[in-house]
Amino acid sequence: MRRKQPPLLPPLRTPPRTPPAPPAARAGPARIRPAQAGGPRTVPPRGQRSFSFRFPQSNPI
């Protein structure tokens, strides 16, 4: 029983090393997507275009 516990710890440490790498790469592109999402919000013709014009005017001020 005790011999099985030690082996389980090493295997768990090895897998985590690989996952961290992919997530980091995705974190970069993920940040770019959210930034662009802000622009598209003014694109939908749900009447937001009128609001988008009013908001920009107050923002510059």
Q: Per-residue pLDDT tens for 29-52?
A: 555 555 555 555 555 555 555 555
pLDDT, position 9: 53
For 14-27, write each residue's pLDDT tens digit. Answer: 555 555 555 545 55
Query: Position of tokens 């005017």?
Result: 57
The neighbour count for residue 52, using CB atoms within 10 Å, is: 14
Provide, rounded to the nearest whole percent, the portion of the chain with pLDDT above 70: 0
Quote the mean pLDDT of the chain. 53
pLDDT, position 29: 52
Read off the pLDDT of each residue in 51-60 and give the average, rounded to a whole number: 55
pLDDT, position 18: 52
